[in-house]
């Protein structure tokens, strides 16, 4: 089977690609192509890489013409950048999805047997407060960032193209992925990973919010599991609701820190420096904190069962893993 990963150069894309190239998908080997604006210096063996922007005219159509069986659509700029650069946000996070869907529909119309599975990484940013204690599967979407609005719009298009039978799409609203390996990124959510990762690497980490802040997490390993499960499940079971809140771990920053202490002792915890940042505090205040993702659980999506387990996944898969 042929799989295409849009945004295949990013952290989650690379982990997914490694998984697919080793394990295949649904018991079948995968001929894998990654597309992104940039890739890590060391390409994965046996994996095709295409460098380019999904926002460039003609790119979506060119990729659709290769008729992948499965498309993982992870390509987007992050929330902070979409907020700072309004035009770029819509140009990268919304319009190319429309172009891709129209290109896939054209392929389907040329050959009605062609109806690819499209797995779209949406986000809990489609939600906006005020929130109930736990966000249920029937809670309204009311994004409070351009990124969230763009994700909701892509979900909505994907559902409608799927309902009409042009593609077979599913949107998965990822929790914040934590612990992100590697260097800090510019995301406002970066500290959720930073306060675990930096101390485990013997480095100081800044905590810009109060430790009562509650948030919704899953590991990069779970993200790969979500993606491959979404690529292989029977979409008939989704009814008309093809966007899913995924399982995760809801915990406070204090609970994250406590889990770090349990796993690694007191010394790493001492490396966390409290340095409140009102800008980040305000952004984070608007984010979802807890979910009751019953549908996704019933459909077989799985995340960790504690934040401690999330840290252990980081130790196994990243800190102590041989580099790629």
Contact residues for a second copy (CB under 8 A)?
Answer: 86, 128-129, 132, 137-144, 146, 149, 152-153, 156-157, 159-160, 163-164, 240-241, 243
Q: In whole angstroms, how close is the CB of 99 to a second copy at the nearest point?
A: 12
- Residues 6+ positions from 53 with CB-CB distance below 8 Å: 37, 59, 92
Say which residue the tokens 């079948």 belong to: 28
Half-sphere exposure of 313 (CA within 13 A, CB side): 23
Please, which residue, 134 or 270, has the CB nearer to a second copy? 134
Edge-to-edge strands of the sheet including 117-123?
48-51, 31-36, 2-6, 70-73, 117-123, 168-174, 243-245
Among residues 131, 147, 166, 314, which one is catalytic? 147
Look up residue 311 and give its two tokens: 């840290």
**Measured between alpha carbons, how far is 37 from 7 in angstroms, rounded to an integer?**
8
3-state secondary structure 258-283: HHHHHHHCHHHHHCEEECCCHHHHHH
- Supply the DSSP symbol for 121: E
State in angstroms the smallest separation of the CB of 96 from a second copy: 14
147 carries an active-site annotation = yes
> Closest separation between CB of residue 282 and a second copy, Å?
13
Provide, rounded to whole angstroms, the least separation between the CB of residue 318 and a second copy.
35
With 0-12 / 13-18 / 19 or more C-beta atoms within 10 angstroms meaning exposed / middle / buried, residue 85 is: middle
Catalytic positions, please? 147
């Amino acid at each position: 089977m042929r799989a295409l990963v849009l945004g295949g150069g990013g952290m989650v894309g690379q982990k997914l690609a490694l998984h697919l190239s080793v394990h295949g998908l649904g018991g079948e080997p995968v001929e894998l192509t990654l597309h992104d604006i940039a890739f890590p210096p060391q390409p994965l063996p046996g994996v095709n890489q295409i460098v380019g922007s999904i926002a460039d005219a003609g790119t979506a159509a060119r990729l659709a013409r290769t008729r992948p069986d499965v498309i993982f659509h992870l390509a987007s700029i992050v929330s902070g950048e979409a907020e700072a650069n309004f035009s770029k946000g819509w140009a990268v996070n919304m319009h190319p999805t429309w172009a891709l869907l129209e290109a896939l529909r054209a392929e389907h119309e040329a050959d009605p047997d062609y109806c690819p599975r499209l797995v779209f990484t949406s986000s809990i940013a489609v939600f906006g407060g005020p929130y109930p204690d736990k966000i249920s599967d029937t809670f309204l979407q009311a994004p409070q960032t351009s990124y969230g609005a763009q994700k909701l719009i892509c979900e909505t298009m994907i559902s409608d193209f799927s309902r009409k039978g042009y593609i077979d799409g599913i949107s998965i609203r990822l929790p914040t992925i934590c612990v992100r390996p590697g260097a800090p990124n510019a995301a406002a959510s970066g500290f959720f990973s930073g306060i675990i990762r930096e101390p485990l690497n013997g480095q100081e980490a800044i905590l810009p919010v109060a430790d009562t802040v509650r948030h919704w997490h899953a590991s990069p390993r779970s993200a790969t599991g979500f993606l491959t499960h979404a690529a292989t499940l029977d979409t008939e079971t989704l009814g008309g609701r093809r966007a899913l809140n995924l399982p995760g771990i809801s915990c406070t920053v204090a609970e994250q820190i406590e889990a770090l202490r349990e796993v690694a002792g007191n010394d790493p915890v001492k490396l966390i420096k409290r340095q409140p940042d009102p800008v980040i505090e305000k952004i984070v205040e608007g984010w979802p904190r807890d979910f009751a993702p019953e549908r996704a659980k019933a459909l077989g999506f799985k995340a960790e069962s504690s934040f401690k387990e999330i840290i252990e996944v980081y130790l196994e898969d990243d800190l102590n893993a041989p580099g790629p």
